[in-house]
C-alpha cells in the first residue's frame, strides 16, 4: 500500500486510476481550468467595468436653472408677492412659538418670523438667519435680525428651481458629499437596508443565510439579502431581474468594488444613486434630490424623522410616497425609527420625539411647463460649448433672471385670456386645426433682465417660441421709431417738437411703378393735427408723411440703434411697420426709451456655476447709450399719452394706475395685434395672432391691450410704483395747444408740454409785447441734472437759448 | 473748468451715500441700504459680492441714482471706463444737479477719460474734483469707503 501510495505520489494521482477514470479526471481538470480562465476573464472584465464607472464620471447630473432670488425689503407688498406661498414652495414649514428651527416660519401678532436657511449663491452667499418681519396690512414695515437685534434693509430668499436640462433618462439628482450627510441619515439607511455595512466585504453571508431560510419557509421569494454595495452594483450596471447569472455578476462586482474602494466612497455613491421617487416624468435619484423634493431643503438640514422617511422610501419609492400614501409612508418611517432604536442608533427620547412628529412634506410644485420657453431661450443664450450633452450631465447651476411670480402670472393670463377671446369672436375661434396664439416677454429695462417669457400658449403643443423666433409685422409699434427720429436733434434742430402739428391729409407716394396711398384706420383724413394727437390716435397718414420728412433711412437707423436687429425694408411703408420684427427685439427697443436712451443687453442668466461651486460664466449688466435722455423722455411722454388718452386707454379702463407708457400695433388686415408698453421698471411686449396669419377681426386695442393690462395689473397690484425721471435737458412750458406757442397770461387755452432745452417755441399766445412781463422761463425740474462739462464746451455758439432768441426776436422787430 | 471757476461756487461737502440712507420711500431706502452694503463689502475686498449688491439695489429700485453712482465708481476703477461713463450718465440723468455730487461727477469723469487715454481732457475734471473735495479726490481716486 505504501509502495503503491508512493507510486501514486511519484506517478501522480492519475497514475493509480484506471484509464476510464483517468479520462474523466483529465476532462474534469481541463473543464475546471477552462472554467477558471473564463471566470478569470469575466472577473477582469467586471473589474474594468467597475473601475471605469467609479473612476470616470460617476453620475450624469442635469444642470438646473434657478430663478432670481426674491428680495424682501420694507415697503414691499407681501400679499402681492405671495410670500407665504413662496416660503412653502421653498420648503419652509409653519410652526408656532418663538423658538423656530431652521427652515420654519411663524406668524403671530403682525410679525412673521423666518428662520431662513443658509443662502447658497456665487455672489450673495449668506449664513442662516433668524429674522422677524413686521407686517402692517399688506406691507412689510421692517425686517429685524433677531440674533444681532439689528434692522436690516433687505433679506434674500433662496431661488426656486425653474427647471433642468435633462438627458434622455430624465434623472434628476443633487449630489451630496458623504461628509455633508447627517449621521442620522446614514444610520437610517443602514438600519433598514444594510445594518452590517461596515462589517461585510460586499456580500453579507449571514444575511444571505437568513434570507434563504426565510424564503424557504415562505416557499417563495419574500426577503432579499442584498447589501448596499450589491444594490449599487445592480443600479449601476445590471437589470433588476433575479436570475442566477445576474446575481452572480452582482456578487462578483460587489466584491471587486469593496476590494478596490473605501466604504465611504461606496456609501456616497449609493446615497447619490438610489432611486427615491417620481416628479412627473422626472426620476428623483439620491438623498440630496429627495431632500429637496420631499422637504424642500438641503440634506444637511433634515430632521431625524425626515431622514427616516427618506430611508424608508428605498424599498418602494412610489408605493410608500408620502404624497400619495401618507399613512403607509408614516408607518414605514416609524419602522425605520424603531430599527434605529433597536440597533442603538437613536435614544429612546429621540425615537419618541421623531415618531411624534407629524408627517409634513413639501408641496409638489409641478414643472413650470410654460417656463420651458424661457429655458430654451436661456440655452440658446449660453455659449456654444455648453452643448446639450454637457448641460444634461455636468450638474451646473444656472442662476437665471426669471421672476417666477411674473412668469406664472404671464402663463396664466395668456392661457385664460386667449380662451376668453376664442369664445368672444368667430374670427378668433379655432379653425382648421389652428388656435389663437400669443407671446409675452417682460424685461427690466435698466438691467436687461428677462423677467418673464411665454413663447406660446402651450409648450407641449408647440415649442416654437414666438417671442424670440417669430418675426411679424410690427404695425404701429414702429411709429415710435419714426417719432423718435423726428424728435431727436441729431444734427441741428429736430424735425418736430411735441408742440408741432402734423399733416394728416391724403398722401400719395410713388413707389416704383405704383403709388402708395396710406389710409387711416377710420378711413378718414384729419387735416392738421397736433403731434400728440396724431401719435395717441395712431394716425397712419401723419406718420407716413413724417417718415418722409425725416427720411426712411434715418428711421431705419433709429430702429436699429434702439435695438432692432431684423432686416428692415427701405420702403415708405416701413414708417407704418411693414418690417417683420420679433417681440424680443421690440422689447429691447422700447426698453431703451424706458431707461432714458440707454439700450440694455438682454440677459436670461447671471451666473453659471459648476458642480464644485466654481463660477464658469457671469453676465453683468451691459448697456450702451444710443439716444439722448431728453429725446427718450419725450418719447416716453408721448407713449404715456397713448395710455392716458389714446388707443391704449383700455389699460386705464382696466384699473391700472400710475406711470404707464405704450403703443398699440395692428398689422395690415388685422393679422397681428400688439401692445408694447412699459412702467418705470418693466417693459412688456405682447403679441397676439395666428401662426398662419389670418384676420383677427379687431384692432390691438380690443385684443392685445386687455391682456397686457391684466398682466401688469397682476404684476403690480394695479398701482404701478415709481415715476419716469425727467432729465435735466428737458424743460416744461405752458403752451397753447392749437398753435404750439408759449402760453402767456391771457392765453385762453393752455397745457403743459415738454421740450428739449433749446427747442422751445419762440411764438407766444397772445403775441408778446415788450411792455408785458417776460415770457415764462422753462420750468426746471428739481434738481436739474448738470450737463457734462465736455458737452457744455461742445455746445456751439450758434445755438441760442430761449432768452437769447427772444432778445434777437425783439431786435429784429 | 478751472479752479478759479470752482472757487466762485459754494462748495458742498462731497456726497456720501450714508447721509442719504433715509431719503425716499421704503423701496428707495432698501435699495440705498444695498448700495451701502455693497460699499462695505467692496471695502473689505469682496469685489464680486459688492457688484452683486449694487445690481441688487437696481433690482429693488431701478431708478436709484446711488446704485448707478456706485457702479460707475466701481467700473471706472476696475478698468472699464466706458461702462463707468454710461453709469455716470445714468446717475446724472436720475439725480439731477446735486451740488454735493459735483466733485464725484467731475472726478469720476476725469478718471474715466484718463483711463481712455484722453489725459488732456481728463485733467480739468480731476482738477475740479480736487478743488471741490481735496480730501477725497486729492489722490485722484474715490475709494468705496469715501463714497460710503
**How far apart, in whole angstroms, are the C-alpha atoms of residue A674 and residue A590?**
13
Query: How confident is residue A244, by pLDDT bands cut at 50, 70 and 90?
Result: confident
Query: How confident is residue A360, by pLDDT bands cut at 50, 70 and 90?
Result: confident
- The three cell numbers locating residue A571: 420702403
The DSSP letter of residue A274 is: -
| CATH code at A166-356 | 1.10.3810.10
- The alpha-carbon gap from A137 to the nearest alpha carbon of chain B, in Å, equals 15
Contact B96 A721 (CB under 8 A): no
Question: Euclidean distance between the first and final Cα of chain A, in Å?
Answer: 153
Neighbours of B24 (CB within 10 A): 16
- The three cell numbers locating residue B53: 449688491
What is the complex's ipTM, to 2 decimals? 0.85
pLDDT at A415 over 90: yes
Same fold: A368-470+582-725 with A473-579: yes
Contact A73 B48 (CB under 8 A): no
Closest chain A CA to residue B54: A621
Choose among A684, A758, A754: nearest CA to A725.
A754
Long-range contacts, stretch A241-249, CB < 8 angstroms, 24+ apart: A249/A46
The answer to whether residue B72 neighbours chain A at the CB level (below 8 Å) is no
CA A517 to chain centroid:
45
Q: Helix, strand or coil for residue A287?
A: helix
**pLDDT recorded at residue A341:** 95
CATH superfamily of A64-164: Penicillin-binding protein 1b domain (3.30.2060.10)
Range name among A97-101, A413-417, A559-563, B109-113 with the lowest pLDDT average: A97-101
Burial of A173 per CB tally in 10 Å (0-12, 13-18, 19+): buried
- The alpha-carbon gap from A275 to the nearest alpha carbon of chain B, in Å, equals 37
Closest chain A CA to residue B97: A785
**How far apart, in whole angstroms, are the C-alpha atoms of residue A400 and residue A390?**
18
Q: Which residues of B touch A624 (CB under 8 A)?
A: 86
Contact B93 A596 (CB under 8 A): yes
The DSSP letter of residue A779 is: B
The answer to whether residue B90 neighbours chain A at the CB level (below 8 Å) is yes
Contact B63 A680 (CB under 8 A): yes
Mention every residue, 6+ apart, whose C-beta is less than 8 A from residue B60: A71, A73, A154, B27, B30, B31, B34
Within 767-806 of A, beta carbons closer than 8 Å to B belong to 781-786, 788-790
Within 536-555 of A, beta carbons closer than 8 Å to B belong to none
**pLDDT recorded at residue A489:** 92
pTM of the model: 0.81
Cβ distance A400 to A68 under 8 Å?
Answer: yes
- For residue A71, report the phi and psi dihedrals to the nearest 5 degrees: -105, 120
Closest chain B CA to residue A403: B59
pLDDT at A802 over 60: no
**How far apart, in whole angstroms, are the C-alpha atoms of residue B92 and residue B102?**
10
Structural domain span for residue B88: 3-147
Choose among A766, A770, A773: nearest CA to A742.
A766
pLDDT in tens, A249-273: 888 999 999 998 999 999 999 999 9
Split into its structural domains, chain B has a count of 1
Q: State the angle between helix axes of B65-77 and B81-95 in degrees (0 to 180), rounded to the nearest 10.
A: 160
pLDDT at A788 over 70: no
CB pairs under 8 A between A and B: 125
pLDDT at A809 over 70: no
- The alpha-carbon gap from A441 to the nearest alpha carbon of chain B, in Å, equals 18
Indicate the fold that domain A368-470+582-725 takes in CATH.
Beta-lactamase (3.40.710)
Q: What is the dihedral of CA A629, A630, A631, A633, to 10 degrees?
A: 80
The answer to whether residue B20 neighbours chain A at the CB level (below 8 Å) is no
Q: Which CA distances in Å does A60 have to A177, A286, A383, B125?
A: 15, 12, 20, 56
Backbone φ/ψ region at A137: left (φ over 0), alpha (ψ -120 to 50), beta: left
**pLDDT recorded at residue A296:** 82
Closest chain B CA to residue A725: B94
Specify which of A228-237, A566-575, A792-801 reaches the highest per-range mean pLDDT. A566-575
Residue B52 is part of a domain; what is its CATH number? 1.25.40.10
pLDDT at A328 over 60: yes
Domain boundaries, chain A: 2-55, 64-164, 166-356, 368-470+582-725, 473-579, 730-811
Range name among A16-25, A299-308, A484-493, B55-64 with the lowest pLDDT average: A16-25
Contact A785 B37 (CB under 8 A): no
**How far apart, in whole angstroms, are the C-alpha atoms of residue B26 and residue A140?**
10
Contact A154 B63 (CB under 8 A): no
Q: Helix, strand or coil for residue A162?
A: strand
3-state secondary structure A71-114: EECCCCECCCCCHHHHHHHCCCEECCCCCCCCCEEEEECCEEEE
- Mean per-residue pLDDT for A52-68? 84
Query: How confident is residue A242, by pLDDT bands cut at 50, 70 and 90?
Result: low
Pairing of strands A282-285, A171-173: parallel
Within 601-620 of A, beta carbons closer than 8 Å to B belong to 618, 620
**pLDDT recorded at residue A18:** 66
Contact A624 B86 (CB under 8 A): yes
Q: What is the assigned CATH class of domain A473-579? A: alpha beta
Amino acid at each position: 500500500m505504501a509502495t503503491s501510495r508512493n507510486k501514486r505520489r511519484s506517478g501522480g494521482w492519475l497514475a493509480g486510476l484506471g484509464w476510464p477514470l483517468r479520462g474523466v479526471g483529465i476532462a474534469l481538470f481541463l473543464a475546471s481550468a477552462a472554467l477558471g480562465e473564463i471566470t478569470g476573464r469575466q472577473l477582469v472584465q467586471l473589474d474594468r467595468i467597475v473601475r471605469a464607472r467609479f473612476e470616470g464620471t460617476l453620475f450624469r447630473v442635469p444642470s438646473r436653472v434657478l430663478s432670481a432670488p426674491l428680495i424682501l425689503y420694507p415697503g414691499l407688498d407681501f400679499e402681492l408677492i405671495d410670500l407665504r406661498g413662496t416660503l412653502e414652495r421653498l420648503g419652509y414649514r409653519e410652526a408656532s412659538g418663538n423658538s423656530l428651527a431652521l427652515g420654519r416660519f411663524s406668524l403671530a401678532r403682525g410679525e412673521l418670523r423666518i428662520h431662513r436657511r443658509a443662502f447658497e449663491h456665487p455672489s450673495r452667499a449668506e449664513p442662516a438667519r433668524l429674522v422677524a418681519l413686521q407686517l402692517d396690512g399688506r406691507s412689510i414695515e421692517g425686517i429685524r435680525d433677531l440674533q444681532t437685534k439689528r434692522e436690516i434693509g433687505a433679506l434674500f430668499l433662496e431661488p426656486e428651481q425653474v427647471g433642468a436640462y435633462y438627458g434622455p433618462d430624465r434623472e434628476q439628482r443633487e449630489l451630496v458629499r458623504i461628509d455633508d450627510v447627517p449621521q442620522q441619515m446614514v444610520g437610517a439607511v443602514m438600519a433598514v437596508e444594510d445594518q452590517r455595512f461596515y462589517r461585510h466585504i460586499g456580500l453579507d453571508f449571514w444575511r444571505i443565510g437568513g434570507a434563504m431560510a426565510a424564503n424557504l419557509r415562505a416557499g417563495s421569494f419574500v426577503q432579499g439579502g442584498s447589501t448596499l454595495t450589491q444594490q449599487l452594483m445592480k443600479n449601476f450596471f445590471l437589470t433588476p431581474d433575479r436570475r442566477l447569472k445576474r446575481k452572480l455578476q452582482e456578487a462578483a462586482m460587489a466584491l471587486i468594488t469593496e476590494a478596490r474602494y473605501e466604504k465611504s466612497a461606496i456609501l456616497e455613491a449609493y446615497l447619490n444613486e438610489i432611486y427615491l421617487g417620481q416628479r412627473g416624468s422626472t426620476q428623483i435619484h439620491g438623498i440630496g434630490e429627495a431632500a429637496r423634493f420631499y422637504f424642500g431643503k438641503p440634506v444637511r438640514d433634515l430632521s431625524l424623522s425626515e431622514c427616516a422617511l427618506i430611508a424608508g422610501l428605498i424599498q418602494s419609492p412610489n408605493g410608500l410616497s408620502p404624497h400619495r400614501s401618507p399613512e403607509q409612508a408614516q408607518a414605514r418611517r416609524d419602522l425605520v425609527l424603531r430599527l434605529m432604536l433597536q440597533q442603538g442608533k437613536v435614544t429612546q427620547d429621540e425615537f419618541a420625539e421623531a415618531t411624534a412628529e407629524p408627517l409634513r412634506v413639501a408641496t409638489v410644485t409641478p414643472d413650470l411647463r410654460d417656463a420651458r420657453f424661457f429655458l430654451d431661450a436661456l440655452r440658446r443664450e449660453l455659449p456654444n460649448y455648453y452643448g446639450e450633452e454637457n448641460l444634461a450631465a455636468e450638474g451646473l447651476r444656472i442662476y437665471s433672471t426669471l421672476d417666477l411670480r411674473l412668469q406664472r402670472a404671464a402663463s396664466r393670463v395668456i392661457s385664460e385670456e386667449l380662451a376668453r377671446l376664442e369664445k368672444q369672436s368667430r374670427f378668433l375661434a379655432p379653425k382648421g386645426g389652428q388656435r389663437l396664439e400669443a407671446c409675452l416677454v417682460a424685461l427690466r429695462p435698466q438691467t436687461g433682465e428677462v423677467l418673464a417669457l411665454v413663447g406660446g400658449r402651450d409648450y407641449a403643443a408647440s415649442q416654437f417660441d414666438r417671442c424670440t423666433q417669430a418675426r411679424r409685422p410690427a404695425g404701429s409699434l414702429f411709429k415710435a421709431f419714426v417719432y423718435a427720429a423726428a424728435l431727436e436733434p441729431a444734427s441741428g434742430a429736430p424735425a418736430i417738437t411735441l408742440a408741432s402739428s402734423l399733416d394728416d391729409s391724403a398722401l400719395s407716394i410713388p413707389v416704383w411703378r405704383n403709388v402708395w396711398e396710406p389710409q387711416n384706420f377710420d378711413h378718414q383724413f384729419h387735416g392738421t393735427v397736433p403731434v400728440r394727437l396724431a401719435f395717441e390716435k395712431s394716425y397712419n397718414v401723419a406718420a407716413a408723411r413724417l417718415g418722409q420728412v425725416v427720411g426712411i433711412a434715418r428711421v431705419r437707423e433709429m430702429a436699429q440703434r434702439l435695438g432692432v436687429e431684423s432686416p428692415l425694408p427701405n420702403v415708405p411703408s416701413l414708417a407704418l411697420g411693414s418690417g417683420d420684427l420679433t417681440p424680443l427685439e421690440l422689447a429691447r427697443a422700447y426698453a431703451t426709451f424706458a431707461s432714458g436712451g440707454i439700450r440694455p443687453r438682454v440677459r436670461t442668466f447671471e451666473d453659471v456655476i459648476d458642480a464644485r461651486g466654481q463660477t464658469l460664466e457671469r453676465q453683468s449688466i451691459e448697456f450702451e447709450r444710443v439716444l439722448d435722455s431728453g429725446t427718450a423722455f419725450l418719447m416716453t411722454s408721448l407713449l404715456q399719452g397713448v395710455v392716458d388718452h389714446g388707443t391704449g386707454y383700455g389699460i386705464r379702463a382696466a384699473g391700472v394706475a400710475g406711470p404707464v407708457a405704450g403703443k398699440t400695433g395692428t398689422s395690415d388686415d388685422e393679422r397681428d395685434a400688439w401692445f408694447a408698453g412699459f412702467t418705470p421698471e418693466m417693459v412688456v411686449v405682447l403679441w397676439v395672432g395666428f401662426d398662419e396669419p389670418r384676420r383677427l377681426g379687431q384692432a390691438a386695442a380690443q385684443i392685445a391691450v386687455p391682456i397686457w393690462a391684466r398682466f401688469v395689473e397682476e404684476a403690480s397690484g394695479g398701482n404701478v410704483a415709481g415715476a419716469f425721471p425727467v432729465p435735466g435737458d428737458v424743460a416744461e412750458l405752458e403752451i397753447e395747444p392749437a398753435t404750439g406757442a408759449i402760453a402767456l397770461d391771457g392765453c385762453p387755452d393752455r397745457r403743459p408740454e415738454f421740450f428739449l432745452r433749446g427747442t422751445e417755441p419762440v411764438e407766444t399766445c397772445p403775441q408778446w409785447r415788450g411792455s408785458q412781463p417776460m415770457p415764462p422761463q422753462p420750468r426746471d425740474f428739481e434738481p436739474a441734472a448738470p450737463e457734462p462739462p465736455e458737452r457744455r464746451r461742445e455746445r456751439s455758439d450758434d445755438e441760442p437759448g430761449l432768452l437769447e432768441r427772444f432778445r434777437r426776436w425783439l431786435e429784429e422787430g | 473748468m478751472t479752479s478759479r471757476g470752482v472757487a466762485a461756487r459754494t462748495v458742498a461737502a462731497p456726497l456720501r451715500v450714508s447721509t442719504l440712507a433715509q431719503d425716499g420711500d421704503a423701496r428707495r431706502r432698501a435699495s440705498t441700504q444695498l448700495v451701502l452694503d455693497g460699499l462695505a463689502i467692496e471695502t473689505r475686498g469682496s469685489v464680486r459680492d459688492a457688484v452683486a449688491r449694487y445690481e441688487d439695489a437696481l433690482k429693488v429700485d431701478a431708478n436709484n441714482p446711488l446704485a448707478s453712482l456706485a457702479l460707475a465708481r466701481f467700473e471706472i476703477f476696475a478698468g472699464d471706463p466706458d461702462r463707468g461713463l454710461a453709469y455716470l450718465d445714468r446717475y446724472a440723468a436720475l439725480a439731477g444737479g446735486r451740488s454735493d455730487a459735483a466733485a464725484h461727477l467731475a472726478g469720476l469723469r476725469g478718471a474715466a477719460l484718463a483711463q481712455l487715454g484722453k489725459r488732456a481732457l481728463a485733467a480739468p475734471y480731476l482738477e475740479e474734483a480736487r478743488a471741490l473735495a481735496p480730501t477725497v479726490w486729492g489722490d485722484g481716486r474715490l475709494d468705496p469707503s469715501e463714497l460710503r
